[in-house]
């Protein structure tokens, strides 16, 4: 493994049957490939992440792990242009969605974010809308009209594992749900616009184990049609849900870099870098 | 049920005579009341015995003697911390009272003075054919009520959209700026809006007078008054609205943008609904700011004794102007009309406030 700072060349394994956490090859119909090339991101003058080269194949689940402050979330926010919404944020490099640079001049962030959805650490349903309206809010906000709204609500809530719990209270305010339910509602809301990629920023860190389990099931289920990138602090979660794992690490005063990237099984069983092994086995971080 | 083994140690049985733990009830006020009476008596004796005199002085002295005695008593019984706690409690409560009392006095004063001038004709008649010595059973403020409603309504129609859009701009400028660039214009706009809120109302009136009434040959009209009032209302709506928009959780903005919503839809469908009650308050504060303005009207609506329902042409009266002009006369009936006008103005503003509160706090979806 190369030391951080060197040009990090990662050869990506084929997204074939063997590696995919025991699952069979997926029909990657709608899902898109996402690729980060030489991504660097700053806040003001401080460089947060540097030289990130990751390729996330269509229909795969990629987990990003690493200690706090290593730029995982920042990198995730670069992937759908949320990073630039923070005042003082800058970045360099390319992010390719199915080969198209999302930062190309003339590319419209709002259009692109329809294809690259995001679920946040803290559940943030719209408080002024009902549960049903929340599911449809993405379509409404993007100005997309759908024929059968009830069907969209049912199928998306079903995908997020929430339908049976809320089917009789769709007209209640979203704030009446528990934290875990709110987060699943947010996932349903993100899925309603049929994204090709779904970015998840520690989606389970505020949730109880059973809600976490539901969300992990959801991730497994949707990853047939959506490419998922999930930032997590939970090593077991990474090993359970992901096909590929990227380990980010920032040395003191240095920006975060990818120390290791590969199929989850290999990263967890035979990591190339000793630091990965130390981190995975809880020796630091 | 009887065979269930007891797995937890039984709770210690409380003696049934144990008093329930409650927060101090009304009986807690007995001691302060006694101390207050003592303070009043001590101060009264001091005033009798020395050269001290005057009701106001007596009240103030009694207050401080009470605070000192109360603090001493508490320190003696409960210690220093509790003593300080009581002193601060009394001080804070006093400040609260000092805020409410003047307001109550003003309202009560206007009500007692104005209620006599209110009669059926006050709401139906103008002052067009009323002489200075006519009794208050003749004439009224109908023309002034019409004028105020039209002028304030027009001003609100001008200043509300402008103010709310400015508020949105000021709070969302970072999101509108090109990535990586600082929104310079928003700082300038904020500075100007702040400066604008400091404009004396007479200057706003003068501005509309010179620009609109004279330069543009529009003459005096309710519209001119509304323009002057909107100049005063705009900064209040904009700045209050901005503050309200800023406290909308950032997570909602991000959630909406991450769904692929353009910023304008995010603002319109997510942020403004979330800030709805606050935005209504901003508009109400703006209306309250202008409803009682007199100075700018002097040079724009000019004032009149006759009914003029057309706000776009001709001189018009308004309730503040009406009160001002009636009060300048010596006749008791005129002064009583002036007070009645002031009372109607207060009632109008209060009604607007209540209405806006009801509309703003009415949450469509609970939440």
Instruction: Output the domain CATH number for residue B156.
Output: 1.10.3720.10
Question: Mean pLDDT across chain B, nearest whole number?
Answer: 87
Neighbouring C-alpha atoms within 13 Å toward the C-beta of B65: 20
Neighbouring C-alpha atoms within 13 Å toward the C-beta of A160: 27
CB distance B252–A127 less than 8 Å? yes
Closest CA to A78 of A65, A67, A60, A92: A92
Q: Band of the pLDDT at A5, cuts 50, 70, 90? A: very low
The conformational region for residue B10 under phi > 0 = left, psi -120 to 50 = alpha, else beta, is beta
B365 vs A111, A112, A173: nearest CB: A173
Q: Band of the pLDDT at B31, cuts 50, 70, 90? A: confident
The length of chain A, given as a count of residues? 285
CB distance A174–B182 less than 8 Å? no
Note whether B88 and B208 are same-domain residues: no
Pairing of strands A197-201, A116-119: parallel
Q: Is the pLDDT of residue B341 over 90?
A: yes
Whether B99 is covered by a domain: the verdict is yes
- Among B258, B265, B267, B366, pick the best mutation site for testing chain A contact (most A Cβ within 10 A): B258
Task: Tell me how far apart the alpha carbons of residues B275 and B278 are, in angstroms, rounded to a whole number.
Answer: 5
CB distance B259–A141 less than 8 Å? yes
Mean pLDDT of B47-57: 86
Task: Tell me how far apart the alpha carbons of residues A234 and A205 are, in angstroms, rounded to a whole number.
Answer: 8
Note whether B188 and B249 are same-domain residues: yes
Q: Is the pLDDT of residue A6 over 60?
A: no
Note whether B162 and B308 are same-domain residues: yes
What pLDDT sits at residue B359? 78
Q: How far off is chain A from B262, nearest CA to CA, in Å?
A: 5
Q: How far off is chain A from B365, nearest CA to CA, in Å?
A: 6
Which two structure tokens, joined as six digits, stand for A188?
A: 């349903």
Strand partners, A124: none
Burial class (CB in 10 A: 0-12, 13-18, 19+), B149: middle
Mean pLDDT of A137-145: 90
CB distance A111–B259 less than 8 Å? no
Q: How far off is chain B from A6, nearest CA to CA, in Å?
A: 28
Query: Considering only CB atoms, which chain B residues are within 8 Å of A130?
Result: 365
What pLDDT sits at residue A14? 43
Query: Considering only CB atoms, which chain B residues are within 8 Å of A142?
Result: 259-262, 265
Note whether B319 and B190 are same-domain residues: yes
Pairing of strands A227-231, A197-201: parallel
Note whether B323 and B262 are same-domain residues: yes
**pLDDT over 70, % of chain B:** 89
What pLDDT sits at residue B152? 95
Of A23-37, B105-119, B322-336, give the lowest mean pLDDT range: A23-37
Of A29-38, A108-117, A150-159, B15-24, give the lowest mean pLDDT range: B15-24
Mean pLDDT of A239-265: 91
Mean pLDDT of A130-152: 91
CB distance B259–A128 less than 8 Å? no
Task: Tell me how far apart the alpha carbons of residues A183 and A203 are, in angstroms, rounded to a whole number.
Answer: 7
Whether B320 is covered by a domain: the verdict is yes
Q: Which of B68, B96, B115 is the last residue of a domain?
A: B115
Chain B, nearest residue to A119 by Cα: B255
Counting the structural domains of chain B, the total is 2
Closest CA to B292 of B192, B151, B157: B151
Task: Tell me how far apart the alpha carbons of residues B152 and B155 are, in angstroms, rounded to a whole number.
Answer: 5
CB distance A84–B269 less than 8 Å? no
Kindly state which CATH superfamily the domain A34-124+195-280 is placed in: P-loop containing nucleotide triphosphate hydrolases (3.40.50.300)
Whether B25 is covered by a domain: the verdict is no
CB distance A193–B262 less than 8 Å? no
What pLDDT sits at residue A25? 43
Note whether B283 and B353 are same-domain residues: yes
Contacts of B113 (CB under 8 A, 6+ apart): B336, B339, B342, B343
Q: Band of the pLDDT at A87, cuts 50, 70, 90? A: confident
What pLDDT sits at residue A254? 87
Query: Considering only CB atoms, which chain A residues are within 8 Å of B276?
Result: 128
End-to-end CA distance of chain B: 43
Q: Band of the pLDDT at A251, cuts 50, 70, 90? A: confident
What pLDDT sits at residue A11? 43
CB distance A126–B274 less than 8 Å? yes
Query: Considering only CB atoms, which chain B residues are within 8 Å of A102?
Result: none
Note whether B215 and B84 are same-domain residues: no
Chain B, nearest residue to A81 by Cα: B258
CB distance A190–B179 less than 8 Å? no
Closest CA to A184 of A154, A221, A214, A153: A214
Q: Band of the pLDDT at A12, cuts 50, 70, 90? A: very low
**pLDDT over 90, % of chain A:** 57
Q: Is the pLDDT of residue A189 over 80?
A: yes
Note whether B110 and B216 are same-domain residues: no
pLDDT, tens only, B151-204: 999 999 999 999 999 999 998 876 666 655 666 788 889 999 999 999 999 999
ipTM of the complex: 0.84
Whether B233 is covered by a domain: the verdict is yes
Whether B244 is covered by a domain: the verdict is yes
CB distance A124–B252 less than 8 Å? yes
What pLDDT sits at residue A9? 43
Q: Coil, strand, or helix at residue A200?
A: strand
CB distance A85–B254 less than 8 Å? yes
Which is more confidently placed, B207 or A31? B207
Note whether B158 and B58 are same-domain residues: no
Of A214-223, B78-87, B123-132, give the lowest mean pLDDT range: B123-132
pLDDT, tens only, B240-295: 999 999 999 989 999 999 999 988 899 999 999 999 989 998 999 899 889 989 99
Query: Considering only CB atoms, which chain A residues are within 8 Å of B182?
Result: 87
B262 vs A84, A110, A128: nearest CB: A110
Task: Tell me how far apart the alpha carbons of residues A4 and A17 are, in angstroms, rounded to a whole number.
Answer: 31
Q: How far off is chain A from B159, nearest CA to CA, in Å?
A: 26
Mean pLDDT of B73-89: 90
Of A191-200, A216-225, B167-176, B344-353, give the lowest mean pLDDT range: B167-176
* Cβ–Cβ < 8 Å for A159, A191: yes
Q: How far off is chain A from B86, nearest CA to CA, in Å?
A: 40
Whether B128 is covered by a domain: the verdict is no
Range of the domain at B44: 30-115
Query: Considering only CB atoms, which chain A residues are within 8 Å of B251?
Result: 120, 122, 124
Q: How far off is chain B from A277, nearest CA to CA, in Å?
A: 34
Q: How far off is chain B from A202, nearest CA to CA, in Å?
A: 14
Mean pLDDT of B213-231: 93
Q: Is the pLDDT of residue A158 over 60?
A: yes
Q: How many CB atoms lie within 10 A of CB A170?
A: 17
Mean pLDDT of B16-25: 68
């Amino acid at each position: 493994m190369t030391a951080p700072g060197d040009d990090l060349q990662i050869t990506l394994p084929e997204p074939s049957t063997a590696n995919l956490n025991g699952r069979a090859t997926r029909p990657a119909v709608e899902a898109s490939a996402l690729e980060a090339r030489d991504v660097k991101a700053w806040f003001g003058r401080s460089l947060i992440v540097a030289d990130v080269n990751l390729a996330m194949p269509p229909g795969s689940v990629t987990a990003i792990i690493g200690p706090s402050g290593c730029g995982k979330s920042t990198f995730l926010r670069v992937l759908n242009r949320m990073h630039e919404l923070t005042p003082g944020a800058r970045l360099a490099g390319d992010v390719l969605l199915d080969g198209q640079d999302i930062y190309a001049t003339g590319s419209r962030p709002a259009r692109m974010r329809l294809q690259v959805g995001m679920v946040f650490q803290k559940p943030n349903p719209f408080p002024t809308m009902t549960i049903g309206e929340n599911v449809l809010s993405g379509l409404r906000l993007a100005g997309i009209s759908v024929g059968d709204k009830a069907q969209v609500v049912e199928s998306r809530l079903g995908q997020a594992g929430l339908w049976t719990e809320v089917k009789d209270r769709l007209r209640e305010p979203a704030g009446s749900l528990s934290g875990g339910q709110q987060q699943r509602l947010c996932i349903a809301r993100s899925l309603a616009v049929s994204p090709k990629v779904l970015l998840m920023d520690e989606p389970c860190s505020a949730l109880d184990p059973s809600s976490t389990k539901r969300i992990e099931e959801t991730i497994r289920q949707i990853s047939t049609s959506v490419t998922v990138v999930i930032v997590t602090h939970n090593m077991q979660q990474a090993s359970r849900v992901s096909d590929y794992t990227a380990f980010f690490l920032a040395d003191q005063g240095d920006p975060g870099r990818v120390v290791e990237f590969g199929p989850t099984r290999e990263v967890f069983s035979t990591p190339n870098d000793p630091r990965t092994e130390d981190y995975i086995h809880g020796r630091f971080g | 049920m009887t065979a269930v083994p007891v797995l937890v140690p039984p709770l210690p049985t409380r003696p049934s005579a144990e008093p329930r733990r409650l927060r101090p009830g009304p009986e807690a006020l007995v001691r302060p009341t006694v101390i207050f009476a003592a303070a009043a008596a001590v101060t009264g004796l001091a005033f009798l015995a020395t050269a001290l005199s005057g009701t106001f002085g007596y009240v103030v002295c009694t207050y401080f003697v009470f605070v000192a005695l109360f603090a001493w008593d508490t320190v003696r019984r409960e210690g220093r911390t509790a003593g300080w706690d009581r002193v601060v409690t009394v001080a804070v409560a006093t400040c609260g009272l000092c805020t409410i009392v003047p307001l109550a006095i003003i309202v009560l004063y206007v009500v007692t003075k104005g209620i006599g001038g209110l009669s059926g004709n006050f709401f139906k008649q103008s002052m067009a054919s009323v002489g200075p010595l006519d009794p208050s059973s003749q004439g009224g403020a109908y023309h002034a009520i019409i004028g105020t409603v039209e002028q304030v309504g027009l001003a609100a129609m001008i200043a509300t959209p402008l103010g709310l859009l400015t508020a949105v701009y000021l709070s969302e400028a970072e999101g509108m700026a090109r990535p990586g660039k600082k929104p310079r214009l928003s700082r300038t706009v904020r500075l100007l809006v702040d400066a604008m809120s400091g404009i004396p109302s007479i200057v706003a009136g003068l501005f509309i007078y010179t620009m609109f009434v004279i330069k543009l040959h529009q003459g005096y009209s309710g519209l001119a008054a509304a323009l002057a009032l909107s100049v005063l209302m705009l900064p209040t709506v904009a700045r209050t609205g901005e503050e309200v928009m800023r406290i909308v959780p950032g997570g909602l903005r991000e959630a909406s943008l991450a769904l692929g919503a353009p910023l304008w839809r995010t603002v319109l469908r997510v942020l403004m609904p979330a800030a709805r009650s606050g935005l209504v308050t901003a508009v109400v504060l703006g209306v309250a700011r202008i409803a009682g303005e007199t100075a700018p009207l002097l040079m724009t609506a000019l004032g009149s004794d006759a009914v003029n329902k057309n706000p776009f042409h001709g001189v018009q009266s308004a309730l503040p102007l009406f009160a001002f002009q009636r009060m300048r006369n010596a006749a008791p009936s005129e002064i009583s009309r002036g007070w009645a006008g002031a009372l109607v103005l207060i009632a109008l503003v209060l009604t607007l406030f209540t209405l806006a509160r009801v509309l703003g706090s009415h949450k469509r979806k609970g939440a």
